[in-house]
Amino acid sequence: MESVLPLSETHSPESTDATAQIVRAAAGAGTPVYPVGGGTASNYGGRPTREGIGLSFDRQNGLVDYPTRDLTITVESGMTVAELQRLTAKEGQRLPVDIPQAAVATVGGAVAAAPAGPRRFACGTLRDYVLGLDVVDGTGNVFSTGGRVVKNAAGYDLSRLFTGSLGSLGIITKVTLMVKPIPEIWGFHACRCDRPERLLECLAGTRSLPCALEVLSGPAWSSLPGRPSDDSRRPLVLVGFEGPEAEVGWMLDTIEAEWASAGASECVNILGEDADALWTRLCEFPAPTPGEPTAVVEIGVLPNQVAELVETLRRSSESHSIQAHAGNGVVRVRRPGGAESEIRQFIAAARRLAAEARGRATVLSVPPEIALSAEEAFGPVGSGFALMRRLKERFDPKDILNPGRMVY
Amino acid sequence: MASVATFSPDVLRDLRAVLGSDGILSDPADLLVYECDGFTIQKNVPQAVVFPRTTDEVSRIMKICSSRGVPVVPRAAGTSLAGGCLPVDGGVVLMTTRMRNVLDINLRDRMAVVEPGVPNVQLGRALAGSGFHFAPDPSSQGASTIGGNVATNAGGPHTLKYGVTGNHVLGVEAVLPDGEVVQLGPVSNPGEMDLLGVLVGSEGTLAIITKIWVKLTPNPQAYRTLRVMFDTVDAAGEAISDIIGEGIIPAAMELMDQGIIRAVEQAFHFGFPLDVGAMAVIELDGVEADLDEQCSRIVELCEKHGATEILFAADAEERILLWKCRKLAVGAVGRLAPSYCIQDGVVPRTKLPRIIRKVAELSKKYDIGIVNVAHAGDGNVHPILLFDERDIEQVGRVLEAGRELLEECIACGGSITAEHGIGVEKIELMPRLFQPRDLAAMAAVRDVFNPKGILGRGKVVPGQNGVIGAGLHAGA
């Protein structure tokens, strides 16, 4: 993957200590250090401008410990998410978090960027699964956060601080995760409708237990796996279930009955290979397609605001595709690449909409030729900004770790 | 009174101006109540206790105290078993008990907004009949507050399936030690680091939480609740380990040993055999459609490990009865000894049999009666050490036994606390669990939030302002 990071050279340390040595030297010289996992989040956050050293984790990609009956696993950062899923699947276990581009994305990179997909509704996000980390901070100090047990009230949960902080406070070299059993089957109930709000309201009192609750719209969803293309102008409401077969079967029947009494028609169940394919599409939605420049913005609001926001976004352009995690208040808009001015207008419009809804807009990715500042990517400062600045000053006083990507 | 802080009269005057005279206690007779919490071994009296009603009042109190160097300790129900509410250096105890409104229940969004002083059980009552509940159910929930639950990242029997408090907090409003008010969440904001996650479990040493957005969980459609008797604790532990290993995650798996079963039987006459080695309460919840299948697999595994009796709750009433014997367990301990100490340790779940065997060894070695209750599915043990606090020599043995147990937890790859927190109780053990560099990282975070060391002094992270742990006692 082509890197947009300004790298003069790349190193591939073999261990945490080797990583720390490089960082210490870089801190002394004031040289930026850019950890590079699979490169899948390179266009996320502010575009760094200061040339520096790339750190690859392809020599720190091994399994450290996997006591399977403890349902925990410790790996080095450079292991791909796909490899993690392969190892755990052999034991009937998984990390139940949707991480795009798993074949390339690394576990360490995923923890640093903390993406989340549809399963967040029932399963939570990476923050709920990281039990401990090994970290190298911006002075080359090495330390560990958390531990290896699923309940741990000893001290501050600093794993939370480094998860999702885009490598700005420290470089993650090892990750201990909680894993869960793989469900027996999964499936979806899907419905095209003009007014998703009616179905979402009905879902508020459902007797079923969805693992995902999606409102989808636009060209990316004009057809579903295994189904012929249908009217893409009508949004799709999708409810996902996973669990024992008897349970999923009961839930699909239940939701069908509940929605029927709410006036839904044209509903289908999606199971088996079609369901697998649909999960992949849902998970990969925010990822750029090779050869097709895109921009993706994510808006965070309250769940009850999702339907209206989706409707507003739909009406603003037919070429936009939308994925909303309706139960979590997360709405993603994806548009094809275009002139820089168009993309910037798109971002500004999303930001305005978010502000009107008292939410937040975050740019997840832009075409590589567009360079945003951290402020442009993440929006105006929030309540915790001063704390973030002070944390940055403590853990990376020389501002060498991913400078300009998150803290500004 | 061994109080270290300077507390000039104008501090009291300024606090009174914010709160009114009925919002502050300063009479020594009144202050005695606040000298300790559930951790009664260490005591120290504060110089004032304040009762704010609003976030603004909390902020103004913190500004006054912060600018004068007066230490502050937040407190709600005072159920901490680790001395989390101990006013180590005297100063002000900031009570959140007058901030006890459920501000909003939003079933559509599956969230509620509460003030920190709302007792966990009060939120439960407010949700009764709604089809939803707040999942964290620590044993203290009858008194402990949501604010306290967040501060300690409280657990309980249902963490096995539902996680701990931190998995159910969507947002907080908090007052920093310097009086600044921050709001973190509830709306998703990837550009903000997970400061909320750092505050959860920080035991009142980083900020005072003044509002909480909590996630609501749909009530299960159905339950299967079993009580299983085993000849030995080992057998019970192995069965529980096997169940998890099979990929079944029950809602709860609780373990009680012979000592505590006897106490419960003598107190409440459930009809338990007094020679049974161990008892497990196992609960599945979910939709009716699959519960019988999962249940029969659990029964198979229990029988494989020699279960001598398996009893099912036939209806909601029997389910409550089955749980009663677990929920009353700690209450029954009072008849076994004048004093007791509930320890809290955690190991990787497969090491549970080993740690329980260790507890039995320690009981013999130190000649202390120890009975066991455990959130077995999580590897979280609560050995209850029995003693008479008037016997100083025995108290010494209790503390030694507790320490050796926690060292064994560390040796097993576990932690020195799963739920109760570090407080002052375990602060001296932090260097046993963490390397100096790990503690330095925690100290750095504390210094960012709490640079003057005003809030929650002497707790959680060692080495603050020269105060390491607390050994102060009321009386000069």
Question: What single string gives the DSSP state of each residue in A143-184?
Answer: EEEE-SSS---SS--THHHHTTSTTSSEEEEEEEEE-EEPPS
Strand residue runs (E) in B192-268:
208-215, 217-218, 222-230, 252-257
- Closest approach of chain A CAs to the CA of B332, in angstroms? 26
Of B197, B206, B249, the CB nearest to A127: B197
pLDDT band at B6 (very low <50, low <70, confident <90, very high): low
What's the average model confidence in pLDDT over B59-87?
96
Q: Is the pLDDT of residue A271 over 70?
A: yes
Across the interface, whether the CB atoms of B180 and A386 are under 8 A apart is answered yes
DSSP string, B274-318: TT-SEEEEEEEEE-HHHHHHHHHHHHHHHHHTT-SEEEE--SHHH
pLDDT band at B325 (very low <50, low <70, confident <90, very high): confident
Residue A405 contacts residue A48 (beta carbons within 8 Å): yes
For the record, the structure tokens of B127 come out as 């949700």
Q: Is the pLDDT of residue B63 over 50?
A: yes
Cα first-last separation, chain A: 27
Which uninterrupted H or E stretch holds B30? helix B28-31
**B3 closest CA partner among B51, B61, B70, B68:** B70
Contacts of B201 in chain A (CB under 8 A): 153, 156-157
CB atoms within 10 A of CB A341: 8
CA B10 to chain centre: 36
Question: How high is the pLDDT of residue B350?
Answer: 87
CA distance A176 to A131: 5
What's the average model confidence in pLDDT over A167-175?
98
**Residue with token string 């490990």:** B305
pLDDT in tens, A300-309: 999 999 999 9
What's the average model confidence in pLDDT over A211-232?
86
CB atoms within 10 A of CB A397: 12
pLDDT in tens, B253-271: 999 999 999 999 988 888 8
pLDDT band at B3 (very low <50, low <70, confident <90, very high): very low
Contacts of B180 in chain A (CB under 8 A): 386
Across the interface, whether the CB atoms of B418 and A151 are under 8 A apart is answered yes
Cα→Cα distances B109→A128, A201, A327, B133, B287, Å: 20, 10, 7, 13, 22
Higher pLDDT, B1 or B163: B163
Of A70, A147, A151, the CB nearest to B164: A151
pLDDT band at B190 (very low <50, low <70, confident <90, very high): very high
Lowest mean pLDDT among A225-234, B58-67, B445-454: A225-234
Residue B346 contacts residue B414 (beta carbons within 8 Å): yes
Of A69, A151, A360, the CB nearest to B241: A69
A228: preceding bond cis by omega (within 30 degrees):
no
Across the interface, whether the CB atoms of A362 and B189 are under 8 A apart is answered yes
Residue B151 contacts residue B202 (beta carbons within 8 Å): yes
Question: How high is the pLDDT of residue A145?
Answer: 97
CA distance A222 to B95: 56
Lowest mean pLDDT among A288-297, B161-170, B280-289: A288-297
CA distance B125 to B105: 12
- The 3-state DSSP composition of chain B as helix, strand, coil percent (nearest 5) reads 40, 20, 40
pLDDT band at B327 (very low <50, low <70, confident <90, very high): confident
Q: Is the pLDDT of residue B230 over 70?
A: yes
Higher pLDDT, B335 or A88: A88
CA distance B115 to A52: 47
pLDDT in tens, B419-438: 999 999 999 999 999 999 99
CA distance A114 to A95: 13
CA distance A244 to A251: 11
Across the interface, whether the CB atoms of B290 and A182 are under 8 A apart is answered no
Higher pLDDT, B289 or B153: B153
Q: Is the pLDDT of residue B1 over 80?
A: no
Nearest CA in chain B to A305: B109
Question: How high is the pLDDT of residue B474?
Answer: 27
Contacts of B109 in chain A (CB under 8 A): 302-304, 329
CA dihedral of A15, A17, A22, A23, whole degrees rounded to 10: 120
Residue A355 dihedral angles phi and psi, to the nearest 5°: -60, -40
Across the interface, whether the CB atoms of A164 and B193 are under 8 A apart is answered yes
- Closest approach of chain A CAs to the CA of B135, in angstroms? 13
CA distance B170 to A303: 12
Question: How high is the pLDDT of residue B5?
Answer: 54
Across the interface, whether the CB atoms of A143 and B441 are under 8 A apart is answered yes
What's the average model confidence in pLDDT over B406-424?
96
Across the interface, whether the CB atoms of A384 and B245 are under 8 A apart is answered no
CA distance A218 to A225: 15
The single-letter DSSP state of residue B433 is H
Question: Is residue B20 classed as helix, strand or coil in its secondary structure?
Answer: coil
Residues 6+ apart with CB under 8 A from A291: none
pLDDT band at A226 (very low <50, low <70, confident <90, very high): confident
Contacts of A137 in chain B (CB under 8 A): 441
The single-letter DSSP state of residue A287 is S
For the record, the structure tokens of B300 come out as 């198979």
Cα→Cα distances A294→A375, B134, B220, B332, B377, Å: 20, 40, 42, 64, 46
pLDDT in tens, B114-140: 999 999 999 999 999 999 999 999 989
CA distance A211 to A220: 22
**Candidates A24, A128, A387, partner chain B, best to mutate (most B CBs within 10 A):** A387
CA distance A335 to A218: 10
pLDDT band at B476 (very low <50, low <70, confident <90, very high): very low
Residue B286 dihedral angles phi and psi, to the nearest 5°: 150, -155
Residue B382 dihedral angles phi and psi, to the nearest 5°: -125, 80
CA distance B204 to A363: 34
Question: Long-range contacts for A225-230 (Cβ within 8 Å, ≥24 apart)?
Answer: A225/A270, A225/A273, A225/A274, A225/A275, A225/A277, A225/A278, A225/A281, A226/A270, A226/A273, A226/A274, A226/A277, A227/A268, A227/A270, A227/A274, A230/A192
What's the average model confidence in pLDDT over A241-255?
96
CA distance A376 to B434: 39
Q: Is the pLDDT of residue A1 over 80?
A: no
**A317 closest CA partner among A217, A406, A237, A386:** A217
